[in-house]
Amino acid sequence: MKDIPNYCLKSLNTFKIDVNADRFISFDNLYEFLLFAKENKNIFKQKFIVTGEGSNLLFTKDFNGTVIHPETNIFGILKETDTHYIVQSEAGLKWDDFVDETLKLRAYGLENLSLIPGTVGASVVQNIGAYGVEVGDFVDKIKYICLEEFVIKTITGEDCGFSYRNSIFKNELKNKAIVVAVDFKLKKKPECNTNYADIQSYVADNVPVTPMFIRDVVIKIRNKKLPDPDIIGNAGSFFKNPVIDKLQFDDLLIKFSDLRYYDLHNGKYKIAAAWLIDVCGFKGFEHKGAAVHENQALVLINKLGQAKGQDIKELADIIQNKVQAKFGLILEPEVIIL
Ligand code: EPU
């Protein structure tokens, strides 16, 4: 375990913002940390955050609180039935390493979520999703430290309230839980999801579609469209795709016949925020050291690594205002702004 005052967070956020935290605590042994947490309960009565790789955070100033960073990363098959494996991973394991390992174990389902930055713990808090798949669909159980009783509790996937980029950990259990391990229910028989248009375009008649094939395709698509956070600071999609009802949708479609959207088949429509931003002419737009990515308008970047968090926040505000003025839609940040 590490417990360090005045800690630089530059390597702990993928925007590569140079800020400090008052205190930084990391741990690679859950029970050692649990004991420490029980004896230092005051930490959790003050400001704190739990971070994985910081791939969904924007620091606009120093963090006057404690950063908790799980580094536990053991994984393995917990259970096997005729049709499924239950694969458990501790929270600190890098998400994409975990996806890769599940495929090596011949445990299928997560392949569409390849190459998403972040850790296993963060994946369920955020309910990460890509190419027609969301992680919540595969969660069997989650173990977390309850910060009211300082014991480890278990919650089932059904009780996690998963929805688009949302879970119980962002709502009822916000600041009350630290995810420490996730059990995923993965299939023995592959059922490849190739519905997403980007993936479809790689599927040819004579190529067998396997989970490894999907993983390779997703990696290709992401590498082409999304900047590598190790090279250009970014946090993936900066905003969520707005979800609107039919009345508002019909009205928009009349005005913008080339609107990009997904029918959610529940009377709601998800509008492609990237398209809204793109149509406003923002691709490549720069504000101080921050910019809109040239290939994916939903991604804001720290172009030369010199931008301050506040510069990126200002760019986000400019985009939000323009999109609201043009389309009457409010873009909600997906990234947590601190
Ligand atoms: N589009 C544009 N301009 C652009 C980029 C995209 O018009 O600059 C259009 C595309 O042509 C497409 C639509 O917008 O019709 C949607 O684009 P894309 O398929 O790239 O997906 P997205 O909705 O922008 C979402 C997720 C991504 C995920 C992809 C693939 C959100 C907020 N983002 O992006 O997740 O990888 O789908 O499934 O839901 C993330 O959360 O950080 C993230 C990268």
> pLDDT (tens digit, 9 = 90+) per residue, 190-229?
999 999 989 998 988 778 899 999 999 999 999 999 999 9
pLDDT at res. 207: 81
State pLDDT tens for residues 3-21.
Answer: 999 999 999 999 999 999 9
- Ligand 1-lining residues (CB < 6 angstroms): 130-131, 198, 236-237, 240-241, 260, 272, 274-275, 278, 283, 296-298, 334
Give the list of residues 6+ apart from residue 195 with CB closer than 8 angstroms, or none.
132
Domains annotated on the chain, with CATH: 2-70 (3.30.43.10), 75-187 (3.30.465.10), 233-337 (3.90.78.10)
Q: Measured in angstroms, how far is the CA atom of residue 236 from the centroid of ligand 1?
A: 10
State pLDDT tens for residues 44-57.
Answer: 999 999 999 999 99
Q: In the structure, what pLDDT confidence band is assigned to residue 313 with cuts at 50, 70 and 90?
A: very high
pLDDT at res. 214: 97
Catalytic residue from among 111, 123, 165, 215: 165
Cα separation, 243 vs 189, in Å, equals 33
Q: pTM of the prediction?
A: 0.95
Cα separation, 334 vs 338, in Å, equals 12
Rounded to the nearest 10 degrees, how much is the dihedral formed by the CA atoms of 218, 212, 110, 121?
A: -80
Contact 277, 292 (CB under 8 A): yes
Q: Measured in angstroms, how far is the CA atom of residue 98 from the centroid of ligand 1?
A: 23
Contact 37, 45 (CB under 8 A): no
> ∠230-231-233 over CA atoms, to 5°?
80
